[in-house]
Structure formats: C-alpha cells, structure tokens
Structure 1
Amino acid sequence: MQDTTNKNTILIVEDDPYIAMDLEDAFDARGFKVLGPVADVITGLKVLSETSPDIAMLDYNLGNETSVEIARALSRSNIPYLFLSGQIEDVVKDNDLPPRPVMAKPYVPEQLIAVVRSMIA
C-alpha cells in the first residue's frame, strides 16, 4: 500500500471510463492521491461531502448532465478546479461560474499536470 500522507489530493470527474483510467494513472504516477474517478454529479457531490480535495479536474459534459453543480460546490468550498472538455464553447458560456482554466480534449498529460500543479502551488 502506498503512503499518501503528503500527497496532493485530486478529485477526477469524468464519465468516459477510458479517459478516467488514463487520468487516474497519469495523476497517480505523478504523486497525486486520486479521488474517484466519478462519472456523475450525485457521486461527485457525495465525495465532496465526505472529503475535501486539494483540487478537482472536471469533465464538463457528463452525458445527460454537466458538472456545473460540482463546480459550484467546489467554489463554495474554495477548492480550485479546472475543466477538461471537448466542448470548450459550452464551458465558456456558463457565465455564472467564476473563471477557471479550461483545457481541451484531447489533452497532453504533461500540460494538464503542469496546469494542476501551478494551481495548487
């Protein structure tokens, strides 16, 4: 079992199981403790009610819903987050959220990790 005492914790919200696995592997390999991945709003909000990650990575479009409610909960808790999405225009249109970084899919893992690290530095 890995020691996760001093690791940054990241919540991953992603409904595509292959992308979720890739993200989990990428963050885990770079020393993060991964919460999730979760694929829907209800589960994401449940995780947030039980723990407080250092940062969250949200897929905007979760099939029949968006991750906006999770983003709002993160904002209320002052937890930084970013969107990783194939629908950048939709994320930008959601004007009631505070400005957050948005990265487009497909993504380069090293760039994503660099952005996440800079947000929690």
Structure 2
Amino acid sequence: MKVMIVEDEMLLAMELESEVEMAGHQVTGLAMNSEQARREMETGRPDFAFVDIHLQDGPTGIDVGRNLAKMGIPYVFVSGNIKKIPADFAGALGAIEKPYTMNGMKNALTYISSIVAGDESAEPPASLVLADDVMAGKKYA
C-alpha cells in the first residue's frame, strides 16, 4: 500500500514513516503543510493517508482530508485533539489520538490495510476511533 503522511512534527512523521515501512508499505511522501500535501496527492497518488489536523500553515489538515476524500483516497486523522474533527469526520475513516503507542499504530495500520484491500471482516483495534461509530453515537473511554 502506498501511504502519504501529512504531519508537521518531523520527529513524529519520521517515526510514523518507519512504522509504515516496517509493516511492508511504501511512503509516497511527507507533507508538513497543506500546499505540500496537495502536491503529494497529485504526484504520488497514495492509496491511503495519515493526516494531522494542525499543520505548519494552521488547522488545515481538515481541508487536506476533504481533498483526499474528493479524490477517493481513504485516510485517518492523527491528532492530539480529536474533538476538533468535524461531526462528519471530513470523509475520514476515523482517527488515532496522539500520543499513540507504536503497537497501537501498528494495529491500526494492519486494520486499515485490510480495509483498503477490500477486507471488511477485520476487527478494528482500540487505537482507532472509527467515524461510523462516532456518527452512530457510540461512546469511547
């Protein structure tokens, strides 16, 4: 799976890139702001993306997410404050809250890989808040 990472904290972006690659996937690009993300979407055409809400140019991750959704590219938000995600999740599959554990991210990536590959039978990990569940009114601890 080709994965784009949209994250303005370079250390977190590099850590996530390492996790993605160790899981056997390819990182098509790293973006730290909405303009870089736009270019990466056009040139790298990822199969999936991780998107932080607050980037170098402000809280533009939601706009990046909406653009990904318009292009039919599935993604999840990775954010320290998932309460800032709009009620419709801006087309995201879900969200992973920072700080996350590497094991939690690995489990989420395994689940996401299954979903992107068309296997809807996989069980979502606790580290991933699914948009469908939030919109259906399910509560999370």
TM-score above 0.5: yes
Q: Name structure 2 gaps, 5 residues minimum.
A: 118-141
- Equivalence map 1:16-35=2 (5 Å): 16-35=9-28
Among residues 93, 116, 119, which one is paired with 2:115 in the alignment? 119
Amino acid at match of 2:12: I
Match of 1:11 in 2: 4
Task: Answer whether contact 1:58 1:67 (CA < 8 A) is retained.
Answer: yes
C-alpha RMSD of the superposition: 1.7
Match of 2:45 in 1: 52
Normalization by structure 2: what TM-score? 0.72
Displacement of 1:109 in angstroms is 2.5
Among residues 13, 27, 35, which one is paired with 1:42 in the alignment? 35
Is the partner of 2:90 in helix, strand or coil?
coil
Percent of matched pairs sharing the same residue: 27
Among residues 45, 61, 64, which one is paired with 1:67 in the alignment? 61
Residue 109 of structure 1 pairs with residue 105 of structure 2: yes
Among residues 54, 59, 83, which one is paired with 2:77 in the alignment? 83
The CA distance in 2 between the partners of 1:28 and 1:96, in whole Å, is 27
How many aligned residue pairs are there?
Answer: 113
Task: Answer whether contact 2:23 2:106 (CA < 8 A) is retained.
Answer: no
By relative contact order (CA 8 Å, sep 6+), the higher-ranking structure is 1
Normalization by structure 1: what TM-score? 0.83
Name the stretch that deviates more: 105-114 or 49-58.
Answer: 105-114
Task: Rate the CA distance shift 1:19–1:96 in 2: closer, same or farther, 3 A.
Answer: closer
